[in-house]
Amino acid sequence: MAAAAYGLRTAPHVVTDADRELLRFSALVLLARPAEGALHGTALALLVRDPDTRGKYLPQALARFAASDPHLPPSVLAPALATHTEPVLAAFRARLYEPGEGPGEVLRILAEVSVTPLARRVTSLVREHVEHRPEGAENAALFVDRRLEDGPAARSVLLPLVVDLLRTGPAQVRRALAPVLADPGTPLSRPLRQELLEVLMEREEYGPYERDVTVLDALLRAVAAGAAERTEARTRDLVHRTGLLMARTPEGAAFFDRRLTQLAREVPVFGDQVRGWLKSAPAQWAVVVGPSARIRLTAGREKGGGRGHGDTADPSDPAGVTPGDPADAGRRQPAWHS
Report domain extents, the chain. Answer: 1-78, 97-211, 213-329
In degrees and rounded to multiples of 5, residue 192 shows phi and psi of -70, -35
What does the pLDDT read at residue 36?
Answer: 63
* Cα angle 160-155-109, degrees, rounded to a multiple of 5: 90
Judged on CB neighbours under 10 Å (0-12, 13-18, 19+), 289 is buried
The CA distance from 252 to 212, in Å, is 10
What does the pLDDT read at residue 296?
Answer: 94
b/e burial code for range 255-269 (CB count within 10 A of at least 16 → b) = bbbbbbbbbbbbbee
pLDDT tens digit string along 84-107? 999 999 999 999 999 999 999 999
pLDDT tens digit string along 259-310? 999 999 999 999 999 999 999 999 999 999 999 999 999 885 544 443 333 3
* Helical segments of the chain, H only: 2-10, 17-31, 40-49, 51-66, 74-77, 85-96, 102-110, 116-132, 137-148, 155-168, 171-182, 190-206, 213-225, 232-246, 250-266, 268-280, 282-286, 291-298
What does the pLDDT read at residue 22?
Answer: 74
Count CB atoms within 10 A of the CB of residue 13.
Answer: 7
Model confidence band, residue 23 (pLDDT cutoffs 50, 70, 90) = confident
The CA distance from 308 to 292, in Å, is 10
What does the pLDDT read at residue 31?
Answer: 87
